[in-house]
Amino acid sequence: MKSKSLSLKSLSFAAALLCASAAAQAEIIFFTDRAAFLAALSSSGTDTFDDLTVSQTSSPLLRSAGAYSYRASVGPVSNFWPAGTTGGDVWLAATVSNDIITFDNFGGLRAVGGNFFGSDAAGAFSPNRSLVLTATGGATTRTVNLYDTTISTFLGFISTDALSTVTLQTEGIPGGTAYWSTANNVTIGMPVPEPETYGMLLLGLGLVGFMARRRAR
């Protein structure tokens, strides 16, 4: 009985070490190139927003990107007012210029990206605008500023933990010309496991097998 108890304690300790190691390595990296971002994913889906009309749209929105689903919301003041052209290329934008767009409910997915830029009061592209995006996964947060954005400006986040939220907001100057944070082609998915992830998994399986053999003796 004493030998069995010791084995169980050793197994618990090994599992704790693996968890601590995984937590210590938690991070969020970002990509500014869509092709590189997609190459790092094992699966993904993209939401183009082209099904929306250019008119005030209630928040939150339950959206789908390929086989995946997520939620988009905006506030704290008002709802969405999609920009672009109805029947053509529609973008997701806020009604109030300093409202924050939040993407969440990713269902455990660890990769989120898209095209992010500014639009004007008429819903047209507004050049050379600055935006702030913040991604949170587990206890880790990463903030990235985008400057001089165009409709093709891309930013993607990949996290070692499941992503909980990605927020988008303007970086306007008080007293300056208003513009609206805008998103298009939002892509969500899962990254390809890195070699160190496989190594950690194999180490964990090896420790479990070793402890199980000791317990059986």
Domains defined along the chain, listed by start: 25-216 (2.60.120)
Torsion sign, CA atoms 48, 49, 53, 54: negative
pLDDT tens for 121-152 read 999 999 999 999 999 999 999 999 999 999 99
If you ran DSSP here, which 8-state letter would residue 11 be given? H
Averages of pLDDT over each 10 residues, the chain, 217 residues: 43 46 71 97 97 95 97 97 89 96 97 97 94 96 97 97 97 77 98 61 51 54
End-to-end Cα separation, the chain, in angstroms = 11
pTM of structure: 0.79
Q: Residue 217 corresponds to which tokens in the numbers above?
A: 């003796």
Distance from C-alpha of 25 to C-alpha of 193, rounded to nearest angstrom: 14
Largest CA distance in the chain: 76
